[in-house]
Structure 1
Amino acid sequence: MSSVYLGFDYGSKRIGVAVGDSLTRSARPLPALPGPDWAVIARLVAEWRPAALVVGLPLDEDGSEQAITGPARDFAAALGKRLKLPVYQADERYSSRAADDALREARASGRMQRRVRKGDRDGQAARVILEQWLLENV
């Protein structure tokens, strides 16, 4: 039986969101949120009924914390407290680079006809984080 998961790429301006499942271990981006919009997050949880939530943990290349690491941890803790679901934190090093590569490839191949919008990168980064977590943990 397959389980659904929601992934989040926390940022100071936007939060990328993705949905994925344990059967295919793949994910797809959802529209980015303009900050922690708890009403929208609650609706996403009600719609998708995830088994757990995965939040990217921003770290430097050497594994040390960045200025955004603390707020990302706080967001993960708030998700668990508000939604009463398990929340996992996943190393998100290189997820933005992988997201940029995926968007460039989609434009070059013609799968994406429009210009890349700001929230596109956040959603793709959430997809990368969630897929990596699914591959390593499910």
Structure 2
Amino acid sequence: MHSPETVLGFDFGIKRVGVAMGNTMIGQATPLAVIQSTVNDARFAEIKALIDKWGPTKLVVGLPFHPDGAEHDMTARCRKFANQLNGRFNLPVVMVDERYSSAMIPAKRGELIDDRAAAIILQQYFDEYVPH
């Protein structure tokens, strides 16, 4: 039996990054934060603070595709973000197909849902990749 691992999940966006957390023992993702900085250094400083606080052993990043599975501009941006996370924090990064993650969340106009989208992405990782 493996010991429980803390995992942080990310919903990357140009304007905001949603963050969720969970652990492999419970297998339940929880919304954690919305990082609203668009400046890379500030954005990664906030991510570092979350990594320092929660001590994850793995990071999960949502990878968007068109409904037919084709890649688009954000697909490449998310891969770059995942590579930057790995390079800066030396943690393994898993990419998870995030098609429809934001569409699954009812939201009021102006409401930030990025952390909840990150939780859906992380939950998908737990459901598909972590043995129960």
Q: 78, 81, 87: which is aligned to 2:84?
A: 78
Over aligned residues, Cα RMSD in angstroms?
1.5
What CA distance in whole angstroms lies between the structure 2 residues aligned with 1:21 and 1:116?
Answer: 31
Bigger Cα displacement from structure 2, 122-131 vs 62-71: 62-71
Structure 1 gap ranges (5+): 104-114
Q: 88, 99, 112: which is aligned to 2:94?
A: 88
Higher helix share: 1
Render the CA deviation track for 1:43-85: whole Å, top value 9, x for unaligned: 1111111110000001111111122111111000000000000
Q: How many residues align?
A: 124
- 1:55 matched residue in structure 2: 61
- 1:130 matched residue in structure 2: 122
Bigger Cα displacement from structure 2, 20-29 vs 30-39: 30-39
Indicate the percent of aligned positions where both proteins have the same amino acid.
41
The residue identity in structure 1 corresponding to 2:51 is V
Structure 2 gap ranges (5+): none
Give the structure-1-normalised TM-score: 0.84
Q: 100, 104, 118: which is aligned to 2:111?
A: 118
Q: How far did residue 118 of structure 1 move?
A: 3.4
The residue identity in structure 2 corresponding to 1:97 is A
What SS class does the counterpart of residue 117 from structure 2 fall into?
Answer: helix
Contact 1:2 1:21 in 2 (8 A): yes
Contact 1:99 1:128 in 2 (8 A): no
- 2:30 matched residue in structure 1: 28
Q: Which runs of 4+ in 1 moved over 6 A?
A: none
Give the structure-2-normalised TM-score: 0.88
Q: How far did residue 98 of structure 1 move?
A: 1.7
